[in-house]
Amino acid sequence: MEPKKVSWKAEALIYKGNKRIAVHFENTPELNGRIKQLWDARWSSTLKCWHLPDNQENRKRFKIDCHAEESEDIKEFIRWLRSKRYSESSIKTYTNAIKSFLRFYENKAIGEFSNSDIITYNNEYILKNKLSASFQNQVVNAIKLFFRIRSDILLNPELIHRPKREKVLPNILSKEEIKQILSASKNMKHKAMLCLIYSCGLRRSELLNLRLKHVDSGRKLLIIKQSKGKKDRVVPLSDKIILQLKDYYRHYKPKVWLFEGQYAGEKYHERSLEQVFKQALNSTNIIKPATLHWLRHSYATHLLESGTDLRYIQELLGHSSSRTTEIYTHVSTKNLRNIKSPFDDLNI
């Protein structure tokens, strides 16, 4: 369900002893059909609304504030993370994850937790609600950090096991599909943003954090500051994207950020950028459920297929480990297309 396309209101509540999220919207067959597709969605004739499990995915989906009324334990955890110079994005991820765990044991004191409680949480909350292994891993990270700084616990953070690693291949688009998406946007700013993401393999946050001074057109370089893992890196700018950025600058004249929002000096919003991509995608005949991050995956795969050394691709993407970059070898079709199937030799 995409709640922001309709008038809606969501709130967390306790319903029949269970933590739920109530969703209020116009009662139409179309909207009712859409919310029915969400796991464990139920209609309440008493509340006159639909309600769903109060979990991390639904809180994110319906924009429920996860930071409301933080306990002193959570506040202390946030202060510790900041003192260790974790990024605000990582702090938000870890605090939301530990809140999910602590909410599951609402009436349990911090010092009473044991390792068996984590196994129960994994089975009765994460697996029962069909949450991803990725989210489970985030919770493991959060628990390890949260309980490592405490001395009044029975739980041993070093004995917490992680979920079995999923082997998920990155999603990519063909060069023709990329061309369709980048050509679909008629707005100069929107087109420049999408083109720069693909041409340099940028993450969403990396694009939005670019300042004017980070574009070195003379040396044909884009400087990316303090990206994931607090790392700086440079990536090459093609002549074609430099000309496009110059046209964009002459037309929009941004003041601080390379791509600014409605007001001068205001950073472009990430949700607006996601919407720009969706609008471009919807203007094509592509039926794949593509997301903005697919542009980065496609950039890496297309570089690999054109013969670029994997070590250079690792540097361009800002990966700390070559193992992360090696996954693109599994989706590159350059060599696979040259393999002849033994089926072709059968005279049938």
Where do the H-state alpha helices sit in 105-254? 115-121, 133-148, 175-184, 188-200, 204-208, 239-252
Cα angle: 81, vertex 83, 89; to 5 degrees: 45
Helix axes 293-305, 310-317, angle to 10 degrees: 160
pLDDT score at 1: 47
pLDDT score at 68: 44
Dihedral sign computed on CA atoms, order 287, 293, 297, 298: positive
Q: Is 203 exposed, middle or buried (0-12, 13-18, 19+ CB in 10 A)?
A: middle
pLDDT score at 341: 65
Amino acid at 332: S
E strands present in the chain: 8-15, 18-25, 42-44, 49-53, 215-216, 221-224, 233-236
pLDDT score at 28: 81
CB atoms within 10 A of CB 291: 14
What is the DSSP secondary structure assignment for residue 160, as one 8-state letter?
P
The CATH number given to 72-159 is 1.10.150.130
Q: Can you give the pLDDT of all 348 residues of the chain as single tens digits? A: 444 455 677 877 766 667 788 888 877 888 888 888 888 888 887 677 889 888 878 887 887 654 444 578 888 899 999 999 888 888 888 988 898 888 888 778 888 888 899 999 999 988 888 888 888 888 999 999 998 887 767 778 778 888 877 666 778 899 999 999 999 988 999 999 999 999 999 999 999 999 999 999 999 999 998 777 678 898 999 999 999 999 999 999 999 999 998 888 889 998 899 999 999 999 999 998 899 999 999 998 898 888 888 888 888 888 877 777 777 776 666 666 666 666 577 777
CA 320 to CA 314: how far, in whole Å?
A: 8
Assess contact for 280 and 190: CB atoms under 8 A: yes
CA 175 to CA 288: how far, in whole Å?
A: 14
Strand partners, 234: 223
Domain spanning 175-330: CATH 1.10.443.10: yes
pLDDT score at 179: 95
CA dihedral 235, 238, 243, 244 (to 10 degrees): -70
Do β-strands 233-236 and 221-224 pair in parallel, antiparallel, or remain unpaired? Answer: antiparallel
pLDDT score at 103: 84
Residues whose CB is less than 8 angstroms from the CB of residue 325 and which lie 6 or more positions away in sequence, other chains included: 300, 310, 313, 314, 317, 319
Cα angle: 202, vertex 206, 207; to 5 degrees: 75
Locate CATH 1.10.150.130 in the chain: 72-159
Assess contact for 97 and 121: CB atoms under 8 A: no
b/e burial code for range 51-73 (CB count within 10 A of at least 16 → b): bbbbbbbbbebbeeebeeeeeee
Locate CATH 1.10.443.10 in the chain: 175-330
Catalytic residues: 203, 228, 293, 296, 319, 328
pLDDT score at 340: 67
